[in-house]
Structure 1
Amino acid sequence: FPELAGLGDEYPDLLLDGEIVVLDGGTPSFAGMAERFHVVDARKARRLAEQRPATYMAFDLLRLYGVDLTQRPWTERRATLERLELDGPRWQTPPVFTDGEALLAATREQGLEGIVSKRTDSAYRPGLRSPDWLKLPHRATTSVVIGGWRPESTSASAGRLGAVLVGVPGAEGVHFVGRVGAGLAGRAGMALLERLRPLEATRSPFAEAVPAVDAVDAVWVRPVLVADVESLGLSSGGRLRQPSWKGVRDDLSPDDLRPGHDAATEGNH
């Protein structure tokens, strides 16, 4: 993310907690963010930084000028963070809201992932789940392209569909975002398999190599079938979190899902 490099020049010793997002019309874009993950070529990274720039949202301040702030109350850390005025070309400090119910409703209406509610006197606990912080997620619906399927692993159910491998289209092709198995048991899986068998292909349609743990026994298909899945958004590695199957979208084509296309259905953090 070369567009974020300047943030490190603001202060010589600064440790933040935040999130990187790609915005499309002011809303976090699922497809746009997936396209930015796993880019190792510097020239490609610079090009994507211009075409699909990322923004860093600073949520918390953990260290400043060598001073560990993690045990300070959240209100103190937040006040110090705001005094830093981190408002650059590609980074910002989003506002805090005190009406949790209204914010939860507003984020649901906007198709956002959800909210995090924090006790004002809470410390920051690195790597730990804190009872002082409550995540209230919406399970967002996202349209994806099916690029392959895996059979169920048990011998008694050999030949039955166990999961589909899905991705989102970008400038470089279809970017793999995960494996979806929940919701595909029984008739739903059988009906989908009937539609996938005629689409079988000899190679993976994804732009990058699918992790071996996901690609085991995979049957690749031409990436022409669009479906909706529910999830808790993307992980830091660009994968769907806790995805579940909703159904095929015969009214959409893969081109409809490309970033910036009005017909794309997106729901993300």
Structure 2
Amino acid sequence: MELPPIPPMLATPGTLPPAAQDARWAYETKQDGQRVVAYLPGDGRVLLRARSGQDITAAYPELRALGAALAGTPAVLDGEVLALDPEGRADFQLLQSRMGLAHDPARAAHRAARVPVHLVLFDVLRLGARSLLREPYLRRREHLEGLGLSGPAWSVPAALVGHGAEALRATREHGLEGLVCKRVDSVYEPGVRSRAWIKIRNMRGEDVVVGGWLPGKGRLSGLPGAVLVGQRAAGRLRYVGGVGTGWSAAERDELAALLRAATTDACPFDPVPRVPGARWVVPRLVGEVRYSTRTREGLLRQPSWLRLRPDLTPEESAAELPDDLV
């Protein structure tokens, strides 16, 4: 059966719904992995597509068996690919070693033996010949849970209706990334960043776009001592600060190679920041940083690098300045 492509619905950053509306929302653990839509045509095959629409099936050979899990029933499923640390928590840095290998199946298979992944499924968009996009969230969850998808490398995590404050507190106590709040009557909006889904991060972290760097000194000579980052605002890339901590030696070396390959003479920030010695790059790398607060001008205070986001392009990321700082 030919299954039409469906871009995933996206959540909007926010806070817990008001207590008076708590029963109108379902709460799921926010996963720290790579978002995928899985297409199961019903003949034993599986096709995995990233948010960009790219076919990434070959990057995750251990998920091929999912194609036979529904015994001939075509389906389109929404989920997230995770790599788990020894405590069973999602670790994006581990997952990075598995990403980008869709065009190298032999290398992907080798990495799979060392860093296995797990696919968590949290929505069903199509079942048989029937689209479920206009069905409310709770009905779609009933369909999903009824499929019995519990396998060696995939599962359907629980969702809690109501009790949002308790759910958020539990994610913090267990060191999890956060919570996704989903309105129980919400339909599935393909490709839309909707207010019907709200994501809450336990750490203050945001995506940024790398637009330049400062050379390091001493033992860091020839390597980046800091990267210069920005976020979009009114169609421009606004400078939000320099980030000089958070890398391992290997990560700094990797970043140095990526920056050298993206060198340009033109500053991508508007307006151009006053940063003596800055070297500019084409703004195509997305990273995630954590920080304490912002200045009134929108600059990040005490920023620290968390990770590259090779699964996102600057256009796909949510790297935007808050409205009150534009």
Pairing 1:116–2:180 present: yes
Pairing 1:206–2:254 present: yes
CA distance in 1, matches of 2:184, 2:318: 28
- TM-score, length-scaled by structure 2: 0.50
Q: 1:206 to 1:233 in 2, by over 3 A?
A: closer
Corresponding position of 2:67? 8
- TM-score, length-scaled by structure 1: 0.59
CA distance in 2, matches of 1:140, 1:214: 28
- Which of 109, 126, 134 is residue 198 of structure 2 equivalent to? 134
Equivalent residues of 1:118, 1:133 under 8 A apart = yes
Corresponding position of 1:34? 96
Corresponding position of 1:22? 83
Equivalent residues of 2:80, 2:119 under 8 A apart = yes
CA distance in 1, matches of 2:110, 2:81: 17
Show structure 1 runs of 5+ residues with no match. 142-148, 153-160, 166-180, 194-198, 220-226, 244-269
Q: 1:151 to 1:210 in 2, by over 3 A?
A: same
- Which of 137, 144, 152 is residue 89 of structure 1 equivalent to? 152
For residues 143-222 of structure 1, the aligned pairs below 5 Å read 150-151=213-214, 163=227, 182-184=240-242, 205-206=253-254, 210=258, 215-216=263-264, 217=279
% identical equivalent positions: 31
- Which of 91, 97, 100 is residue 164 of structure 2 equivalent to? 100
Corresponding position of 1:158? none
Equivalent residues of 1:234, 1:241 under 8 A apart = no
Q: 1:241 to 1:108 in 2, by over 3 A?
A: farther
Q: 1:81 to 1:63 in 2, by over 3 A?
A: same
Corresponding position of 1:78? 141
Q: Secondary structure at 2:83's aligned position in 1?
A: strand
What's the offset of the Cα at 1:79?
A: 0.5
- Measured against aligned partners, the alpha-carbon deviations of 1:48-93 in whole angstroms (never above 9, x if no partner) come to 1111111111010000112100100111100110010110100000
Equivalent residues of 1:73, 1:120 under 8 A apart = yes
CA distance in 2, matches of 1:55, 1:15: 18
Q: Secondary structure at 2:95's aligned position in 1?
A: helix
What's the offset of the Cα at 1:47?
A: 1.3
What's the offset of the Cα at 1:131?
A: 2.1
Corresponding position of 1:172? none
CA distance in 2, matches of 1:206, 1:85: 42
Show structure 2 runs of 5+ residues with no match. 1-59, 206-211, 216-224, 230-238, 265-278, 282-301, 321-326
Equivalent residues of 2:228, 2:241 under 8 A apart = no
Count of aligned residue pairs for this structure pair: 192
Q: What is the one-letter code of the residue matched to 1:2?
A: P
Equivalent residues of 2:79, 2:120 under 8 A apart = yes
Q: What is the one-letter code of the residue matched to 1:135?
A: K
What's the offset of the Cα at 1:32?
A: 0.6
CA distance in 1, matches of 2:202, 2:262: 26
For residues 257-268 of structure 1, the aligned pairs below 5 Å read none
What's the offset of the Cα at 1:162?
A: 6.7
